Structure 1
Amino acid sequence: MPIIRAHTGIITQINVFTVPEGGQDALIAYLGEAARVASEVPGWLSASLHKSLDGTRVANYAQCEDREAMGRVFQRLNAAGMIDGNKAYGEANPGLYDVVFMLER
């Protein structure tokens, strides 16, 4: 389950992919498999996939306990060829984030 709380040390990768028309489901299937591979890495916490209602984007929201764990996940996915492999499905725009503010009802 994603953890969205400020100042926890948890690192979140948010990667928004732009996909060709009709490409969301194939990318989601691929990223789901990548999440299963990543989930075996110590320190991995969660992955959530979101598809835009207009059919042009997929957002991957993935979390690890800390930056070192995120580095291990990247190493594992690179070794499996999964980071380069996602380029076949769309254009990635990744970034690493730290939650600094959160408000709930």
Structure 2
Amino acid sequence: MATTTIDTEAKLTTLINVFTVEPARQHELVDLLTEATEETMRHQPGFVSANIHAGADGTRVVNYAQWESEGAFRAMLADPACQGHMKAALDIAQADPQLYTVESVHHI
């Protein structure tokens, strides 16, 4: 079973999508992203993991997701079911999605 891997040797594409949301709607957005991941995103080819984080001040939600490749991520973007979930999220929040690679990891 695939799991979130934060390792410079893992050749994964990481999406960090920071959503800005009204505090009253933060949990609605968390629920929407969780549902979208369970129903659709995790069934897409190349999906590895997704982690939804709620900001302590209520104004941010972060989706830290990993894909086998940038191509797999881009293919997901073209899927109509995924587009519907993304539109629903953008109806209640602003998003700043960016793709990353892991360059450095530190532990105690």
Using the size of structure 1 for normalisation, the TM-score is: 0.90
Q: How does 1:72-87 map to 2 (within 5 A)?
A: 72-76=75-79, 79-80=80-81, 81-87=84-90
Question: Post-superposition shift, 1:7?
Answer: 4.0
Kept in 2: contact 1:7–1:100 (CA 8 A): no
- Residue from 64, 68, 83 that aligns with 2:67: 64
Matched, 1:47 2:50: yes
Kept in 1: contact 2:46–2:67 (CA 8 A): yes
Residue 23 of structure 2 aligns to a residue whose secondary structure is: coil
Corresponding letter in the other structure for 2:32: Y
Q: Aligned residue pairs: how many?
A: 103
Percent of aligned pairs with the same amino acid:
35
In the alignment, the residues of structure 2 paired with residue 104 and residue 66 of structure 1 have an alpha-carbon distance, to the nearest angstrom, of 26
Question: Post-superposition shift, 1:95?
Answer: 0.4
Question: Post-superposition shift, 1:68?
Answer: 1.4
> Which aligned runs of 4 or more in structure 1 are off by greater than 6 angstroms?
none
Corresponding letter in the other structure for 1:54: D
In the alignment, the residues of structure 1 paired with residue 100 and residue 9 of structure 2 have an alpha-carbon distance, to the nearest angstrom, of 11
In the alignment, the residues of structure 2 paired with residue 66 and residue 9 of structure 1 have an alpha-carbon distance, to the nearest angstrom, of 8
In the alignment, the residues of structure 2 paired with residue 74 and residue 104 of structure 1 have an alpha-carbon distance, to the nearest angstrom, of 34
Deviations 1:31-60 (A, max 9, x none): 012212111112100000001111111001
